[in-house]
Amino acid sequence: MLKNIFQIRKGTLVLISVMSVITIIGLTFAWNYYGNINDSEDPRVIQAKIIYSRYNTLVEAEKYDEILLLLDSIFDIYNSYSDYKDSYENGVIYNNKAATYISMALFYHVEGLERDSLLQLAKIEAESSIKIYENWHKSFGSLSESEIIKKIQPIYLAQHQRFVKKKINKYINKRCQDIILAQRENPRRLSVSYTNLGIVQKHQNNIDGAMKSFNKALELWDKNLSAENNINIIQGKPLKEQSILERIFPDKK
């Protein structure tokens, strides 16, 4: 694979490197959410988190087709429930699908119409992710803990067949804490989605659109080195490297 990468022009090579960083960021965000599985989890969607535990392994093995099947399986679970259908979890899924299609377009031996099709699929997924995150923020972004509980409590008091009655309060509290964490993470997640969209636009020769997306990504998260370096590539400027301190002490996720 490395031999093939070095045959690509310098600009694309750097973007591939940047894409790897973006994928890692996306995985980090996702893993922080999916990695903490316990008996307080909503039993309706716990299977989604279990399935997701295979994601990192598949990414490392570059098994893109299997990644897409896995993400679709998770999406189907969340999409089965009205309170999850438009929640940030599906934003994560859409964004990770976008990253997967971008990786396929840049890493696979594809060109012409096939490459264009992969980039267009990535664009659709990135835009869907952005829409989910932005709409979710309008509904939950400014809610206090008590307001969140008031909003979600009726769902868990409805006595779904999978709910264990004595654990209802645990479900509510766990879901509330997940939402509070997502409130903090949403700007960075959204920033990564805009970066992915910008990468697609850049490779579709929509430079104005790409610059707009990268600048929006930096507006949301000013430490988004991937967005910053993509702008540097377009403007012919030197790439900025992450400092040693930033590597040792990254932003809290």
| 242-252 pLDDT, tens digit each | 765 454 445 64
Structural domain contains residue 150: yes
Query: CA-CA distances (angstroms) from residue 177 to 13, 93, 172?
Result: 40, 20, 9
Q: Is the pLDDT of residue 116 over 60?
A: yes
Q: Report the C-alpha gap between 143 and 149 in whole angstroms.
A: 10
Q: Report the C-alpha gap between 103 and 92 in whole angstroms.
A: 16
Q: Count CA atoms within 13 Å of residue 101 on its CB side.
A: 25
At 190-225, the pLDDT tens digits run 999 999 999 999 999 999 999 999 999 999 999 999
**Predicted local distance difference test score (pLDDT) of residue 245:** 46
Q: Is the dihedral of CA 200, 108, 73, 93 positive or negative?
A: negative
Structural domain contains residue 36: yes
At 1-54, the pLDDT tens digits run 333 332 333 344 344 334 444 444 444 344 444 445 578 999 999 999 999 999
Query: Cβ contacts of residue 83 below 8 Å, gap of 6+?
Result: 152, 155
Range of the domain at 28: 11-185
Q: Report the C-alpha gap between 182 and 169 in whole angstroms.
A: 20
Structural domain contains residue 41: yes
At 67-101, the pLDDT tens digits run 999 999 999 999 999 999 999 999 999 999 999 99
Structural domain contains residue 71: yes
Structural domain contains residue 4: no
Nearest residue to 98 (alpha-carbon basis) of 188, 221, 224, 197: 197
Nearest residue to 178 (alpha-carbon basis) of 19, 28, 35, 14: 35
Structural domain contains residue 215: no
**Predicted local distance difference test score (pLDDT) of residue 246:** 52
**Predicted local distance difference test score (pLDDT) of residue 24:** 42
**Predicted local distance difference test score (pLDDT) of residue 12:** 41
- For the chain, the straight-line distance linking the first and the last C-alpha, in angstroms and rounded, comes to 31
DSSP helix/strand/coil, 101: helix
Average pLDDT over residues 55-67: 94
**Predicted local distance difference test score (pLDDT) of residue 93:** 98
pTM across the whole model: 0.82
Structural domain contains residue 110: yes
Count how many domains the chain has.
1
Confidence of residue 228 (pLDDT cuts 50, 70, 90): very high
Mean pLDDT, rounded, of the chain:
85
Specify the residue for token string 């929006």.
216
Structural domain contains residue 125: yes
Q: Report the C-alpha gap between 12 and 119 in whole angstroms.
A: 14
Specify the residue for token string 């490459």.
115
205 membership: H or E segment, kind and range: none
